[in-house]
């Protein structure tokens, strides 16, 4: 029914200014102001981030996954920006904190990290 339409995802943060600095300055993603938040612009999609103020509760699953050509390079760049990877109990991480799904035939290689609001994010290499 909706397959020929564009779609956009969204998620909340507790501090819109802090979040925008993180996504724009730290991660280098182009943003535009919106009435109650801002939009992230990727090659083929947009993601809307809005303020939920102190009522914000971070999700315990990743709300945004960014596909990268080289996960090792992405992890190095995250570390250079002072971003530590999240280690999830029960998941197999290598010494760098990457979940190596490709080698196990269990999906992509994935590295998880958090934004300033505590939302779980991922970079993945297919």
- Residue 66 falls inside a structural domain: yes
The pLDDT score that the predictor gives to residue 103 is 87
- Residue 1 falls inside a structural domain: no
Torsions phi, psi of 114, nearest 5? -120, 150
> In terms of Cα–Cα distance, which of 53, 44, 45, 65 is closest to 19?
53
- Residue 2 falls inside a structural domain: no
Residues with Cβ within 8 Å of 84's Cβ and at least 6 positions away in sequence, in order, are 97, 113
Q: For residue 59, what are the domain limits?
A: 9-125
Check which CATH number belongs to the domain holding 37 and give it. Answer: 3.10.180.10
Q: What is the pTM of this model?
A: 0.91
Strands 37-41 and 99-100: unpaired
- Residue 42 falls inside a structural domain: yes
The pLDDT score that the predictor gives to residue 81 is 96
Task: Quick: pLDDT tens for 45-99.
Answer: 999 999 998 889 998 888 999 999 999 999 999 999 999 999 999 888 999 999 9
């Amino acid at each position: 029914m909706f397959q020929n339409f564009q779609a956009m995802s969204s998620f909340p943060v507790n501090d819109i200014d802090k979040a925008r600095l993180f996504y724009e300055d730290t991660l280098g993603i182009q943003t535009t102001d919106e009435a109650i938040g801002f939009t992230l612009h990727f090659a083929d999609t947009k993601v809307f981030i809005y303020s939920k103020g102190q009522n914000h509760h971070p999700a315990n699953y990743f709300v945004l996954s960014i596909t990268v050509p080289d996960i090792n390079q992405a992890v190095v760049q995250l570390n250079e920006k002072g971003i530590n990877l999240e280690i999830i109990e029960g998941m197999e991480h290598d010494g760098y904190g990457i979940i190596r799904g490709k080698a196990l035939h269990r999906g992509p290689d994935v590295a998880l990290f958090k934004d300033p609001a505590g939302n779980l994010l991922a970079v993945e290499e297919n």
